[in-house]
C-alpha cells in the first residue's frame, strides 16, 4: 500500500467535536483539485470529527485584482483552524513589484518548517512492493527562499545577488523531523543532501547540524543509519537507482528540485502529495503547480490533492480515515481505467474523483 507515513509526533485528535479545515485553492487548477480533496474528506463520515470548511483567498490572481496576494484575513482565519489545504499558486517568472508568493509566506507565518513529500509508486498488485518508496523532507523556511535579492548597476552591467540563509536552529529541527520519520519506516535510513564540497559554510552547517541530531538524544536514533549525497549526484542516482533512498533530508531549494524530479519516477506530479508541517499546525499541498494551460478544462489530476488530504489527516492522528483514502486511490490507479491525461488516460477530473469516492 502506498503513502503509509505515520508520525511519531502526530497532533492529538482527542476530544475534537469538529475539524475546522481552511481551504485555500489559490490559482489555476487549485480551484479544481481542492474541492476534490474536500469531497474525499467528507466521504469519510464518522472516521473523523465533523469537518467544517473555511473558504479562504490567496494567490497571484488575487494580487492582480486587489494588490494583495495573502490577505491578513486569510492568515488570521488559518490560525483559528485545525489544519488546512492549499491548492497551487501562479508565481510569475519575472519580478512583479509588490508580489511575493503566498505559500512561502504562509510557511513562515505558521512556522511550517517541514515540507514532507512521499514519492511512492503503486505496485501492480496489492501485496507487491513498490519500486519507488522514498520521502523527501525539505526544510521550508530559509535557504534562498528568504528572497533577499538585490540588483545594482556596475561598470560591467547589472549585478544581481541573493542571500542564502542556513541556520543551525532550522537545520536541527528539520534533521530531527527526518530522523523521527525514519523511525517509523522499515529501513530507518536517512540520506543528507548537500553541496558542502562547494558551499562549505552554508551547506557545511546544514550537513554538520543534521548529523549531530542523534547525539543530542542518545539512544533514540540508534537504529537509524545515516548516509550523505552531493545534490547533483543525488539527482543522478535518484533516476538510476531510486531504491537506495528512504528518507532524503535537504535544504529548501534542493528539496524542492529533488521532489519534483522524483515525481517523474512515479508517472506524474499529479500523483505526488505533500504536507507543510510544524509542531502545532499542518497544511496539505499537492506538489504540482497551478498549470494555467489546463485550468478550466476538467482534466487536472485530483489525486495529489486527495493524497495530501490523507497525509494531513494522518498527521492529525486520523489513521483509519487516511488509510481509507489511500486505499481508494491505490485501487483506482492500479485498475488504470479511470485516469486523467497526465497518466495516459482520457477521464475528466470529476470522473476520477467519483471513482475514488465510490471506493472510499
For 93, counting Cβ atoms within 10 Å of its Cβ (0-12 exposed, 13-18 middle, 19+ buried), the class is exposed
Phi-psi region of 336 (alpha: psi -120 to 50; beta: other; left: phi over 0): left
* Whether 260 is catalytic: yes
Residue 230, number of CB atoms within 10 A of its CB: 16
Mean pLDDT of 34-59: 97
145: annotated active-site residue? yes
Residue 298 pLDDT: 97
pLDDT band of residue 125 (cuts 50, 70, 90) is: confident
User: 126 falls in which pLDDT band (50, 70, 90)?
Assistant: confident
Express each pLDDT in 277-301 by its tens digit.
999 999 999 989 899 999 999 999 9
- Going from the N-terminus, what domains does the chain have, and what CATH number goes with each? 1-112+278-360 (3.40.718.10), 116-271 (3.40.718.10)
CA distance 106 to 276: 10
Helices 319-335 and 349-359, packing angle to 10 deg: 120
In degrees rounded to 5, what are phi and psi of residue 194?
-160, 180
216 DSSP β-pair partners: none
Say whether pLDDT at 12 is over 60: no
Q: Look over the chain and give the mean of its residue pLDDT values, rounded to a whole number.
A: 93
Query: In the prediction, which pLDDT does 118 show?
Result: 95
Hey, what's the cell of 180?
523521527
Residue 15 pLDDT > 70: no
Place of cell 500500500: 1
Q: Is 232 a catalytic residue?
A: yes
At 124 the pLDDT is: 74
171-206: per-residue pLDDT in tens? 999 999 999 999 999 999 999 999 999 999 999 999
Active-site pick, 47, 111, 260, 354: 260
d(CA 114, CA 110): 11
Q: Does residue 7 have a pLDDT over 90?
A: no
Select which of 145, 245, 254, 318 is catalytic.
145
Q: Note the pLDDT tens digit of each residue in 310-355.
A: 999 999 999 999 999 999 999 999 999 999 999 999 999 999 999 9
Out of 82, 133, 203, 256, the active site residue is 256
- 8 Å CB contact between 190 and 249: yes
- For 199-230, the pLDDT digits (tens) are 999 999 999 999 999 999 999 999 999 999 99
Among candidate residues 50, 65, 147, 232, the one labeled active-site is 232
The pTM score is 0.91
pLDDT score for 226: 98
Mean pLDDT of 116-127: 86
Catalytic residue among 113, 133, 195, 330: 195
> Could you tell me which of 183, 178, 177, 173 has the C-alpha nearest to residue 223?
183
Amino acid at each position: 500500500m502506498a503513502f503509509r507515513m505515520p508520525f511519531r509526533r502526530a497532533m492529538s485528535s482527542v476530544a475534537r467535536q469538529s475539524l475546522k479545515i481552511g481551504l485555500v485553492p489559490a490559482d489555476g487548477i487549485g480551484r479544481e483539485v481542492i474541492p476534490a480533496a474536500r469531497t474525499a474528506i467528507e466521504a469519510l463520515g464518522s472516521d473523523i470529527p465533523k469537518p467544517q470548511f473555511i473558504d479562504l483567498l490567496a494567490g497571484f490572481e488575487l494580487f492582480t485584482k486587489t494588490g494583495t496576494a495573502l490577505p491578513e484575513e486569510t492568515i488570521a482565519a488559518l490560525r483559528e483552524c485545525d489544519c488546512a489545504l492549499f491548492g497551487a499558486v501562479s508565481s510569475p517568472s519575472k519580478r512583479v513589484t509588490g508580489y511575493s508568493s503566498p505559500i512561502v509566506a504562509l510557511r513562515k507565518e505558521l512556522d511550517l518548517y517541514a515540507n514532507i513529500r512521499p514519492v511512492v509508486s503503486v505496485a501492480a498488485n496489492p501485496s507487491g512492493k513498490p519500486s519507488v518508496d522514498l520521502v523527501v523532507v525539505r526544510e521550508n523556511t530559509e535557504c534562498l527562499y528568504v528572497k533577499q535579492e538585490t540588483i545594482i548597476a556596475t561598470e560591467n552591467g547589472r549585478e544581481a545577488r541573493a542571500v542564502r540563509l542556513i541556520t543551525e536552529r532550522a537545520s536541527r529541527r528539520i534533521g530531527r523531523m527526518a530522523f523521527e520519520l525514519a523511525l517509523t519506516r522499515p529501513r530507518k535510513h536517512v540520506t543528507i543532501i548537500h553541496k558542502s564540497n562547494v558551499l562549505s559554510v552554508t551547506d557545511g552547517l546544514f550537513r554538520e547540524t543534521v548529523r549531530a541530531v542523534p547525539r543530542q538524544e542518545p539512544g533514540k536514533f540508534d537504529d537509524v543509519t545515516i548516509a550523505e549525497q552531493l545534490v547533483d549526484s543525488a539527482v543522478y542516482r535518484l533516476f538510476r537507482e531510486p531504491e537506495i533512498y528512504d528518507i532524503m533530508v535537504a535544504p529548501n531549494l534542493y528539496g524542492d528540485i529533488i521532489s519534483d524530479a522524483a515525481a517523474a519516477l512515479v508517472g506524474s506530479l499529479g500523483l505526488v502529495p505533500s504536507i507543510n508541517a510544524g509542531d502545532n499546525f499542518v497544511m496539505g499541498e499537492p506538489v504540482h503547480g497551478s498549470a494555467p494551460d489546463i485550468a478550466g478544462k476538467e482534466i487536472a489530476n485530483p489525486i495529489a490533492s486527495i493524497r495530501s488530504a490523507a497525509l494531513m489527516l494522518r498527521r492529525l492522528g486520523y489513521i483509519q480515515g487516511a488509510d481509507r483514502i489511500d486505499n481508494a486511490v491505490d485501487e483506482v490507479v492500479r485498475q488504470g481505467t479511470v485516469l486523467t491525461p497526465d497518466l495516459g488516460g482520457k477521464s475528466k477530473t470529476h470522473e476520477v474523483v467519483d471513482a475514488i469516492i465510490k471506493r472510499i
